[in-house]
Amino acid sequence: MKSKTTEKHRKETSRIINCGIIILSDTISKSQNKEDDKSGQYILEKLSDKYDVIDYKIISDDKNILKSTIDDMINKGSDVIFTSGGTGISSRDITIETITLLFEKELVGFGEIFRLKTYEELGSPAILTRATSGIYKNTLIFCMPGSPNAVKLGLSLVIDELPHLTKHLKE
């Protein structure tokens, strides 16, 4: 069932949305070869079809580098930042611990739906996903696992909703 209010809000929103992409990968960050970054390339392609991608960085799994990269993208005018990678449970996975401490508000629905859809497709390995989203300095941040399939799922959940989300964020 469609919500009349949601549809009204979608019509009232701007399609001019500035996006940033952060890929966390110790391996790819060493080479800085964006062509090796299948997930980042997918995010870039899909976002560029609808919005403005103003920054795309590949960084190592380091909390200080991650925080400074986020702040830099916000200072450049990002309305939305997508991260991919570093969401697992190994000792090098620092994305969730770093970013959730920054959140002023958490949008738990993204992670909940992400895990539900993952469970429907893969079963109990969905327990491993720690995808999340929230707001930091008036910017939406979506944290997704690093696999191309996870990125496809995460983007499919929010890409068409970004104008509606950013409308409410700016109120």
Distance CA 146, CA 85 (A): 4
Cross-sheet strand order for the sheet of 18-24: 52-59, 18-24, 80-84, 139-144, 132-136, 105-106
Distance CA 49, CA 45 (A): 6
**pTM of the shown model:** 0.91
| CATH 3.40.50.300 holds for 15-170 | no
Distance CA 163, CA 171 (A): 13
Beta 105-106 vs 80-84: how paired, if at all? unpaired
Average of per-residue pLDDT across 57-76: 97
- pLDDT of 170: 87
Under the banding of pLDDT at 50, 70 and 90, the label for residue 32 is low
Average of per-residue pLDDT across 77-89: 96
At 94 the three-state DSSP class reads coil
Under the banding of pLDDT at 50, 70 and 90, the label for residue 171 is confident
Rounded alpha-carbon distances, angstroms, from residue 142 to 3, 4, 19, 70, 110:
24, 26, 11, 12, 8
Listed by start position, the domains of the chain span 15-170
- pLDDT of 132: 98
- 7: tokens are 């549809």
Under the banding of pLDDT at 50, 70 and 90, the label for residue 4 is low
Residue 34 has pLDDT above 90, yes or no: no
Residue 120 has pLDDT above 60, yes or no: yes
Distance CA 66, CA 72 (A): 10
Residue 11 has pLDDT above 80, yes or no: no
- 95: tokens are 């994305």
